Structure 1
Amino acid sequence: MTNATTADPPRTLEGRRVIVTGGGVGIGLGIVRRFAAAGANVALTTHSRSADEVVATLAGEGLDVTGLRFDATDSTQVTSAVGALAERLGGLDVLVNNSGGLVGRHPIAETSDVHWDTVWRVNVSSAFYVSRAALRHLGEGGRIINISSLAGANGGGNGSAPYATAKAAVDGFTRALAKEVAPQGITVNAIAPGLILDTPFHETFTPPAAQQQTIASIPVGRAGYPDDVAAAAEYFARVDSSFVTGTVLDLNGGIHFS
């Protein structure tokens, strides 16, 4: 099983112009697929993969997207890339800040300054840089969707304190930005996934036995998949979601409630 559903979503995002950061793998790629199938004009960004390679793969699936490779922790690159992608799209309606990652597991006593700073830049600075650049292009009806994590609320697993701290900061950034841009007709929300399989995150950092142990404790009886997150993101991206802002949505099968 790779997705919660195989049905194409209705074309609820027809004509919406979207940038998805970290759109080459895992949750980001799931969001790109769902948004494109829902009628959005999607531009994805990548760092670990060739954007052209991802775009070509999606073209083979009948999805027409564009892409660009850049480092979301470099503010100069971000400003240039977001401007270029907004120009390609003919404007911008939706930003999905999906770039982020655990980077590595280390006890606090063994966490270096470099590791702490890297995790912060990858998860928090990237969301700030891209959001700041996107606000130059977003207007009435604009949407910003941040991908957070259950770790931001429950502290995460062993060795993930920097990541949990960073994701808690993303939640705070979401709420602060939501208040600031609400008068402009722009909403800002976050999604905090729990165990989402078919992603490099858990393939790299969560052994199969630990995955099964977590699944056994999930009330709905299964793990999540990228399309579960994409379905929630698709709602936040819609024009008719305008009364929902500053929300951090728990998406974890009932294992945790904020």
Structure 2
Amino acid sequence: MRSTVIVFGGTGGIGAATVELAIGRGFDVVLTYADQAEDGIAAALCDRLGGCGAMVQQLRADITREDNIGLVFDRAKSSKSQLAGVVNCVGIDCTKRVAAELDAAELRRLFDINTIGTMLVCKHAAQAMLPRHGGTGGAIVNVSSMAVTIGGRSGSAAYAASKAAVDIFTVGTAKELASQGIRVNCVRPAMTLTPATLPYAKDPISSADIVRTIPMGRMARAEEIAAPILWLLSPEASFVTGACLDVSGGGFLVGMNRVDGISPGIAS
């Protein structure tokens, strides 16, 4: 029987790269996207990857609505393919605001998507994978952020907090589900080149400031994040659960003195 991977947020940079790599590894894929503006992107991605011989299905879903999440898992079941993995790539960053300027409505939306949405996806994934519900186990991978390790760059403390909650939830859920054959892990990317980060990458000053904080001296490519995600889904990671894997180019250079031509890092 073929195996299916569900990728929530499958049209974005990391999500789309994960979908493409999963197809290349022989999985069928159900991918989700957020709104009508992404209809064309999802259709084009499915058309292109469907030619590889796999089944690729797209579904618009609001991760803040549990009924939408349930429909995604129903779609996966209808494929008559065994659910093997679920990847949470959905995430937003609210308007850059320092603590003294935080907005309650923005915070609710941020946590509804980044934190509560991820938790609800894990809930439905666990239900689908539990042996007592007819599942055969599987793997869940949540996409967090290296921002949690420094509290976020300036104006992103709330974003970092929403992702830190994902880290803790990943570890706790992994302990709950380990005996049932379900592994739960997360990856923490550094700044990655995606459509969402393109404004930073195109701005010479912002780009230089970011790159100075990454020991490898560049931003990540989306496929460099997708590869460890697929590894965590694979049997090669069969004894890995409750892990937060830094995919960071070496972490952060913060407050370091210039040594051997390396510029000081920034704390923002």
Q: Same fold judged by TM-score > 0.5? A: yes
- Asked if 1 retains the 8 angstrom alpha-carbon contact of 2:3 and 2:81, the reply is no
Q: Which residues in structure 2 correspond to 1:200-211 (within 5 Å)?
A: 200-204=195-199, 207-211=203-207
Question: 1:60 aligned to 2:60?
Answer: no
Which amino acid is the alignment partner of residue 104 of structure 2? D
- Asked if 2 retains the 8 angstrom alpha-carbon contact of 1:82 and 1:130, the reply is no
| Aligned residue number for residue 214 of structure 2 | 218
- Asked if 1 retains the 8 angstrom alpha-carbon contact of 2:2 and 2:27, the reply is yes
Q: Which has the higher contact order (CA 8 A, sep 6+)?
A: 1
Q: TM-score, normalised by structure 2?
A: 0.84
List per-residue Cα deviations over 1:124-152 (Å, max 9, x = no partner): 11111111112221144400000000111
Deviation at 1:212, TM superposition (A): 2.2
List per-residue Cα deviations over 1:153-196 (Å, max 9, x = no partner): 21111111111100000000100100000000110000000110
SS in 2 for 1:137: helix
Give the distance between the partners of 1:89 and 1:161, measured in 2 at CA.
43
| Aligned residue number for residue 31 of structure 2 | 44
Deviation at 1:235, TM superposition (A): 0.5
Give the 3 Å change call, closer, same or farther, for CA 226–169 of structure 1 in structure 2. same
**Aligned partner of 2:75 among 81, 84, 89:** 84
**Aligned partner of 1:155 among 137, 151, 165:** 151
| Aligned residue number for residue 243 of structure 2 | 247
Give the distance between the partners of 1:52 and 1:135, measured in 2 at CA.
31
Q: TM-score, normalised by structure 1?
A: 0.87
**Aligned partner of 1:34 among 14, 21, 37:** 21
| Aligned residue number for residue 132 of structure 1 | 123
| Aligned residue number for residue 172 of structure 2 | 176
Alignment coverage as a number of residue pairs: 243
SS in 2 for 1:136: helix
Which amino acid is the alignment partner of residue 89 of structure 2? N
| Aligned residue number for residue 91 of structure 2 | 100
- Aligned alpha-carbon RMSD (Å): 2.0
| Aligned residue number for residue 9 of structure 1 | none
Instruction: List runs of 5+ in structure 1 lacking aligned partners.
Output: 1-13
Question: 1:24 aligned to 2:19?
Answer: no
